[in-house]
Structure 1
Amino acid sequence: MAQSQTDLLYGPDADISVSEAAVLGLQHVFAMDVYVPPLIIAGLLSLGAAPKTGFLQAAFLACGLGTLVQTGWLMKMPMSQGPSYVPVGAVVGVYLANGASHGGMATVLGASLVGAILLILLGCSGFYHKIVNHLVPPLVGGTIIACVGLSLLPSALNSNIFQAAGNPLQNIQLALITVGVLLLVIFLGAYWPKLQRYLKPCSIVIALLVGSLVAASEGLFNWSIIQQAAWITWPKFTVLHYGINFSGNAILTFVIIYLILTAETTGTWFAMSAVTQEPITNRQWNRGLIGEGLSCLISTLLGSTPMTGYSTNAGIVSITGVASRRVFLAVGIWFVILGFIGKLAAFLAAIPAAVIGGIFAVVCVIIMLNGFNVLRTIPAHENDLYIVGLPIVITLALTLMPAKLIAQAPTILQYFLKSPITLAAVAAIILNLILRTKSTQS
């Protein structure tokens, strides 16, 4: 059966102290690789040192403000916002096709602005919850959750460990040590229940710190990044710097991207709902989409890329047992601080990718298992095998599809092919509508 509320050390409404929320919130910040998508985009755009730093700074600020808006005001689900990997290709394509350093970013921000406003209007319309309730019953929701974890796992292993910079054997060693420490801390808490209250919430940050210390002892921790970073930095490369430009083709591209993001974040919300055992109300669905649009609007004005509910949150909560909204409000505040404190942001960026990858891989597996837990609570029917199985096949196929093959597809189709969870979600929805009778859905 799905994880119950009693499995959480701190439920969503837990009244914990400010200091404890701050510490536990920082753990989420450590465990979220929100700086990776901005760094990937900055590299593909060949940005200089100053714009690259500003791009990362804007992403932190957008994460923080978006989280405070979404968790503290609108959807009020324990969830933090983060930059999605989905828009990477669109950002680069629109940037290069519209003047690159001579106006390219202004066109990207203009298209992103329109997409964000469309999300807000859809949420305000009040129709979003009706769409979700009709098209995404628990069977489809559980399938989407499982596919989210499955689609992220190859990225955790390849991008952060096997294909990351440095010696592959050392990367694997760092990842294994980090995962080993994480499991050791969890096992210690299980064997000594009195310690569980202290060890389980801090298990990820302990694993990350030990992994970083091991990396430092082997000369794999880049201290120069921290030394060169300024203590206090201010946003410079915002929409006021780049300007705004509207292009029909770019807007169409980003409308598609935002639709994909909506499907992706829906799976993330389902995953967190399954972990906390708190159903998402109709009001939350609509307010959540408004919050998603506002997060993206804030990100656009700051000169960053679209934000979304971060997929790893549910996995981290499953490991730590901490689902308090106060903790996630602390996450938002930490990200805002990171947007101004250069050295703290530099420390996070200096954590070796293999250390992040080890934690990330465990989180992905837990997200996937949470999806299967949801499916276990649903009475089985013969056709369910296809409704669940074919989306998993699609997820694996698109995740393993060679990049050269994707590059040969039309540009608009490439955005879908680069988002396995989107096509898997669409497949699950269509198969459910076709194969499940009304009587089995009731």
Structure 2
Amino acid sequence: MLFVAFGALVLVPLLTGLNPNVALFTAGVGTLLFQLTTKGKVPVFLASSFAFIAPISFGVAQWGIPATLGGLVAAGLVFMFFAFLVKINGNNVIDRILPPVVTGPIIMVIGLSLAPVAVGMAMGKNSGLQAENYQLIIISMGSLLTTLIVAIWAKGFFRLVPIIAGIVVGYALSCVFGIVNFQPVIDAPWFKTPDFTFPEFQWQAILYMIPIVIAPTIEHVGDIMAIGSVTGKDYTRDPGLQRTLLGDGLATSTAGFLGGPPCITYAEVIGAVTLTRNFKTQVMTWAAIWAILMSFIGKIGAFLSSIPTVVMGGIMVLLFGSIASVGINILVKHKVDLSVSRNMCIVSLVLVFGIGGMIFDFGSYALQGISLCGILAIVLNLILPHKTKSAD
């Protein structure tokens, strides 16, 4: 289970400047907290959330890592707030606040807004790597092609690890072209306490990060329903969606306090549970313990940090495109009619504001990006009247 989650787990900290060893530690601790909160009834593993890649990267550039971590702690509290709403209003409250016409375009913006970053990394822009451009393209496209092949044509267990497969091939090609520096790996100690970073709380970073929780909340509900369909149990009732959301919130806030990326339920591990038919939550507990133990091996972090950014760029091209595809699928799956004026207006404005880079500058605070899109979509959904009249 840990091997399945490993590639994506460490990808987020490597892309955002956080420490991969800390990410391993917080994923393990977060999973244990989730198991305690849900009474050990839900066989899932918690790890780094892709939805937070763009917000963390922006936050680090804008306010620094400590302030960004403070925003992530606040994001975990929003999960807990949703858990409270579910507790007092029932499971349908999430659908009322965050219907598909709101969540679909927001998730699309998360993926599409990162497209230039992925392409730039895949082409080796500003990477500082001593290599010819064609060599960088070969490496990034090699990792991308491998990820595609494994995701589509691999069988059984190997189909669950496309990111790891892509990283392995990209890393091997990087070694062939001589752009990997092994010296930090050689110098790193075998045993080392993870480099924990503690948060600072700045209201600008907190206000920016809070709306980001919209996308992973929907992902969480989908994951809980998916694992329930695999095991034949309704986890939204027992232990209850309020407990699973609370578990995600505690895990995310704890990760933020220690310097790790947000921890949420993990779709890849659900796929592993489906394949192995192993429904025991003790397996996830042991995976969490192994993740914590691995976080104290210094050479693991040094090795992961030695992976050239161009390798990650190739994988990001597919990853961020798939995030946007999830948003499109939400609109299609729930049959959101874009000929209805209110739906068309919500989707159109969210996409243009998000991809176009709209900014509402209030002097000491600027509302932009996914935060602006989240607030805009929710407000429009609440104030626009429900009419059957078509856009034409």
2:17 pairs with 1:38: yes
Counterparts of 1:426 and 1:407, CA distance in 2: 12
2:392 pairs with 1:428: no
Instruction: Specify the alignment match of 1:260 in structure 2.
Output: 211
Cα gap change, 1:24 to 1:111, in 2 (>3 Å): closer
Cα gap change, 1:352 to 1:266, in 2 (>3 Å): same
For residues 183-216 of structure 1, the C-alpha deviation after alignment (integer angstroms, 9 at most, x for no partner) is: 3345544xxxxxx224422433222211111111
Secondary structure (helix, strand or coil) at the match of 2:114 reads helix
Counterparts of 1:58 and 1:156, CA distance in 2: 24
Question: Contact 2:45–2:288 (CA<8 Å) still a contact in 1?
Answer: no
Cα gap change, 1:184 to 1:330, in 2 (>3 Å): farther
Counterparts of 1:344 and 1:138, CA distance in 2: 40
Counterparts of 2:195 and 2:203, CA distance in 1: 28
Q: Give the deviation of 1:118 after TM superposition.
A: 7.0
Counterparts of 1:141 and 1:270, CA distance in 2: 12
2:33 pairs with 1:69: yes
2:19 pairs with 1:60: no
Structure 2: which 5+ residue stretches go unaligned? none
For residues 270-295 of structure 1, the C-alpha deviation after alignment (integer angstroms, 9 at most, x for no partner) is: 67579779698487553344234322
Cα gap change, 1:346 to 1:390, in 2 (>3 Å): same
Counterparts of 2:111 and 2:273, CA distance in 1: 17
Cα gap change, 1:412 to 1:142, in 2 (>3 Å): same
Q: Give the deviation of 1:133 after TM superposition.
A: 2.5
Counterparts of 1:149 and 1:271, CA distance in 2: 18
Counterparts of 1:184 and 1:199, CA distance in 2: 11
Cα gap change, 1:79 to 1:385, in 2 (>3 Å): farther
Q: Give the deviation of 1:342 after TM superposition.
A: 0.9
Instruction: Specify the alignment match of 1:412 in structure 2.
Output: 365
Instruction: Specify the alignment match of 1:123 in structure 2.
Output: 83
The Cα RMSD (Å) is: 4.3
Counterparts of 2:178 and 2:202, CA distance in 1: 46
Counterparts of 1:185 and 1:69, CA distance in 2: 32
2:47 pairs with 1:81: yes
Question: Contact 1:140–1:388 (CA<8 Å) still a contact in 2?
Answer: yes
Map 1:265-414 → 2, pairs under 5 A? 265-269=216-220, 272=223, 281=236, 285-302=241-258, 304=259, 307-309=262-264, 332-333=288-289, 335-379=291-335, 380=337, 382-383=339-340, 384-398=343-357, 410-413=363-366
Instruction: Specify the alignment match of 1:163 in structure 2.
Output: 125
Secondary structure (helix, strand or coil) at the match of 2:17 reads helix
Cα gap change, 1:157 to 1:305, in 2 (>3 Å): same
Cα gap change, 1:308 to 1:386, in 2 (>3 Å): farther
Cα gap change, 1:333 to 1:352, in 2 (>3 Å): farther
Secondary structure (helix, strand or coil) at the match of 1:309 reads strand
Instruction: Specify the alignment match of 1:99 in structure 2.
Output: none
Cα gap change, 1:78 to 1:382, in 2 (>3 Å): farther
Instruction: Specify the alignment match of 1:26 in structure 2.
Output: 6
Cα gap change, 1:186 to 1:135, in 2 (>3 Å): closer
Cα gap change, 1:123 to 1:202, in 2 (>3 Å): closer
Counterparts of 2:195 and 2:158, CA distance in 1: 40
Q: What's the TM-score once normalised by structure 2's chain length?
A: 0.73
Cα gap change, 1:177 to 1:91, in 2 (>3 Å): closer
Counterparts of 2:183 and 2:26, CA distance in 1: 26
Cα gap change, 1:141 to 1:433, in 2 (>3 Å): same
2:301 partner amino acid: A
2:206 pairs with 1:206: no
For residues 25-59 of structure 1, the C-alpha deviation after alignment (integer angstroms, 9 at most, x for no partner) is: 334446x33233234xxxxxxxxxxxxxxx55434
Counterparts of 1:183 and 1:209, CA distance in 2: 14
Cα gap change, 1:252 to 1:67, in 2 (>3 Å): same
Question: Contact 1:211–1:355 (CA<8 Å) still a contact in 2?
Answer: yes
2:48 partner amino acid: G
Counterparts of 2:211 and 2:288, CA distance in 1: 24
Structure 1: which 5+ residue stretches go unaligned? 1-20, 40-54, 97-104, 190-195
The farther-off stretch of 323-332 and 386-395 is 323-332
Q: Indicate which of 106, 123, 147 corresponds to 1:182.
A: 147
Counterparts of 1:271 and 1:392, CA distance in 2: 23
Q: Give the deviation of 1:233 after TM superposition.
A: 0.7
Cα gap change, 1:162 to 1:338, in 2 (>3 Å): same
Secondary structure (helix, strand or coil) at the match of 2:381 reads helix
Counterparts of 1:388 and 1:77, CA distance in 2: 35
Q: What's the TM-score once normalised by structure 1's chain length?
A: 0.66
For residues 162-195 of structure 1, the C-alpha deviation after alignment (integer angstroms, 9 at most, x for no partner) is: 4341244433221111122233345544xxxxxx
